[in-house]
Structures are given as C-alpha cells and as structure tokens.
Amino acid sequence: MLTHRCVFIVQFTLLLLVALVAAKTKLSGVQEDIADYKDFKKLLRTKNNVLALYVSSAKAAATELKVFREAAETIRGTGTMLYVDCSNQEKKKLCKKLKVAPEPFSLRHYKDGDFHKDYDRQLNVASMITFMRDPSGDLPWEEDPAGADVLHFNDAAAFSKHLRKDIRPMLVMFHVPWCGFCKRMKPDYSKAASELKAQGGYLLAAMNVERQENAPIRKLFNITGFPTLIYFENGKMRFTYEGENTKDALVAFMLNPNVKPTPKPKEPDWSADTTSEIVHLTTQGFEPALRDEKSVLVMFYAPWCGHCKRMKPEYEKAALEMKKSNVPGVLAALDATKEPSIGEKFKVKGYPTVKYFANGVYKFDVNVREASKIVDFMRDPKEPPPPPPPEKSWEEEADNTEVLFLNDETFSTTLKRKKHALVMFYAPWCGHCKNTKPEFTAAANALQDDPRVVFVAVDCTKYTALCGKYNVRGYPTILYFSYLKTKLEYNGGRTSKDFISYMNNPPSATEHSEL
C-alpha cells in the first residue's frame, strides 16, 4: 500500500513538474510551437512584427537564447518572438523550407507578413527591445560605435541616479530621433565626448526624450526644441549651452564653462544676396510688384525654419532653370517674421507656405518644394485638386458602436465595475490600429448584450499618462482587465472572431501570468 502511494506521489510530482515547465515555456513570451510551414505562414499573417531565432541546437546558442527570452518578456504586446531549434526532428523541414542554416544561430525579422531583414543590432536585451519597438528605424545613437564615449541615459531613473552619484561636469544633449539638427550634430558631439574622456573628469551625455518614460525629464527642464544642451555641475543644473555645435566649441566650453561661449554665427539675410534670381518682397512693395506680373509664386518663410532652409536652394535652382529655359513667371519670397501684416492678410500659419498670384490677385496655395516640380508648375500653373477632408477620429465615427472611449478620469471608475474588459490602446496614425478598429468594433457590437463584458479604446496621443501607466510602448496594445485587479496581456488574433472567442471564454489569473 505504501509502495503504491509512493509511486502515486512520484507520478503526481512529475506531472506537476511537466505542467510547470510547460506553463513557464508558454508564459516566457517566446513562441516555440511552430514546426509546420503552413503554421509559420499563418503566424506571419496574424502577427505583423516577428523576430525569429533559428539555432543549430539550444546548447550551441545558449547565450543568444537567454538574451532572446529576456527581451521577449519586455516586448510582449509590441512584437512576437519565435524560437525554432533546427536540430529538432519536427522542425528540420521548416528550417530547410525557409533555407535557414544557423551556425550556431540566425536572427531574422518579418514585417507585415514578409521577410523584412536580418537582425543587425547588438546581441543584448536592450538593443533587441529597441529594435522590436521600431524595426525600420535608424540605428540608435547608443549603439553606434562612433558614439561609444557618449553616456546615454535610457530613462529618468538612470539620469536621476547618475546626478546623485556623479558630480563631474556634464553636458547633456536632449534629442529626438527625427530631429535633423540633432542628426547633424551627433558626429561632432561624439568626437568631443572622446576627446574629453581622454582628458578625464568631463562627461558628454545624451537622452532620447521622445520615449514616453522620459516625458518627466522633458517637462522638468521645459525642453521644447531640439537639440537642447544643458550643463550640470555637482549634480545640479547650471545653465543651457548656447554655443556653436562643433567639436572644438563643445570641448572649449567643457574645459572652461564659465567663459561665455562664442554665439552661433548669424545666418546671412537671404534678401541681401545680390546674386539671387529670387525677388524679395516687403510690405510696401508687395502689391505693386505683383500687380505688374502675370504669374508669381511667393514663398512665405521664417529664417529659423528648417523646412524653409531646405527649400531655399531648390527655389533658387528653380529660378535659374526658369531663366535659362525662358519659362514665364517670377519666383518671389517674403520673410513673414519681418512682414507679419502680409502674412496675416494671406492667413499664413506655417512655414514655408507657397501661394500663387496672377496679375496681383491671390489664386491658390501650392504644395511644391523641389526645383523640378516648381518649374513644371510655373510652365502650366493649375490649381491643385482640393485635399481630402480630414479623417474623423475613431471616437467621432463611433455613433453606432458599443466601444467605450475612456480617458484619464473615466478609465479606473469604469473598469472597476466590469468583470471582463478588453482595452485597445491605440494611436490614430497607426496603420495596424486602423486595420484592427473594424474588427474590434464588430466584436463589441456582437457582445453588447452581455453586461459583464466591455470593449474599451484609449487614444494614447491624447492620454499619454494613462498609456504610460500601463507600459504601452507600441500600437495597438491590447490588455484584458477584470475589475481592474487582474491585468493580462492579449496575444490572440485580431479578427472579430478572435476577440469574441477570447471574451466568451475569458482567461483567469491562474491560467496566465499578470503583467
């Protein structure tokens, strides 16, 4: 009897261990059950951001697999991590079909149903997470070998910790990935960091303040333009750097920050260029100059405007081409910061604004900025077709939907009363969100008679704090809540059937790990 009982206990323990291992595998964030090519293609159809790790064996690629699993824990909801062991008998055919021969591993990214590119970043958790958040983006500055001597702060916590512990003089460049001026400055900033590091005692640092987790820093230092460079000493902010963005100027400033830096050279006034073919207008001469011309294109600009600076050489080039080819008409320009009354009269709200005049009378706005297109337009000036009406927001379209649109104030109070809530955190510009919207809406309408169930949408461009609270880092992010106490990630398909099936058989905290 005792022997049978012992056998039973051993068997039960083994089954429990197997179940725990299986659950751990399932909850690790890595998908490992794809062995058939059809299943693989189905995965690519349903998941639009997939990073696949192929290995010759788990033992041979143990280090890479560990990094892969750790990264997967963070990016769940943003992307899918697929692991394929090509030494496995069932998965050999899949590797052969995909023409994958890992030695000992191969990392491939798939986007919107197709192969995108081989993973080309550093093999560490932070780099893999950054890549999965924006697979088509440029190489992050912190991963560029040329910028190895720049100290990069990933978040506000790391920045604050450094200020408490390190009192060395430090210049911090607060930047965003899309900023052209930031991109142009990075090489000089990186070289200055290397030179100062060799001398010892000085730091050049950087922080990407576009990330949601760095929003508090942006607000704390009132950062409204990019790049913004702030000098710190003894862990405290002293002042904003206003000097030139060159290596020598940065090094000279750090070696003696109390000397006022040489101000950036003032850009020459465009209207002072006597060699230009552009006619520069003023308030007094505006109407007389245009009255005598049959065809005039006027560029309203601001000297500090980056888009204007990029358009200027194209505009000049177009004027020369018109002169050379005898194209009728005049290209003119007006500094709207010097002549605000004319800008106001013609409702100029942004720069550059390009308007077409005939015989002194305004006709229409023109969206041309390249030399060839400007010349083509002046050869045959025609009014462009009217722009399409602006898209209605999802909430404005929601007259016939059961989706609830919640905000910072209504989110908690509403979800505390709901047993089953599926929440889609989205951005209006996000293509994947637009594709998911009708399916999510259809599911909400189908289950509208169940008082326990609610489908919720949150616009993360409006309610950034709410989305930050739930660690939303990609769109759409879909989470399941039960009375706001249970919070689980939704990793299913994105059709109405998938949503309905999930909410008809909601998960329990014992089946899934909470976020």
Q: Which of 162, 169, 139, 144 is nearest to 217 (CA)?
A: 162
CB atoms within 10 A of CB 129: 19
d(CA 464, CA 468): 6
Alpha-helical (H) ranges within 166-270 are 180-199, 215-220, 247-255
Identify the H or E element spanning 65.
helix 62-75
401: burial class by Cβ within 10 Å (0-12, 13-18, 19+)? buried
Q: Which of 181, 188, 182 is nearest to 249 (CA)?
A: 188
308 noted as active-site residue: yes
179 noted as active-site residue: no
CA atoms lying within 13 Å on the CB side of residue 45: 7
Question: Tokens 């192929």 identify what position?
Answer: 54
Quick check: helix, strand or coil at residue 237? strand
Q: Starting at the edge strand that comes first in sequence, how are the strands of the sheet with 236-240 ordered? A: 151-153, 203-208, 170-175, 228-233, 236-240
Separation in Å, CA 479 to CA 453, 475, 505: 14, 12, 15
Catalytic residue among 182, 433, 460, 467: 433
- Residue 169 makes CB contacts below 8 A (sequence gap 6+) with 201, 202, 203, 231, 232, 233, 254, 257
CB atoms within 10 A of CB 453: 21
| DSSP letter assigned to residue 89 | T
305 noted as active-site residue: yes
User: Active-site residues: which are they?
Assistant: 305, 308, 430, 433
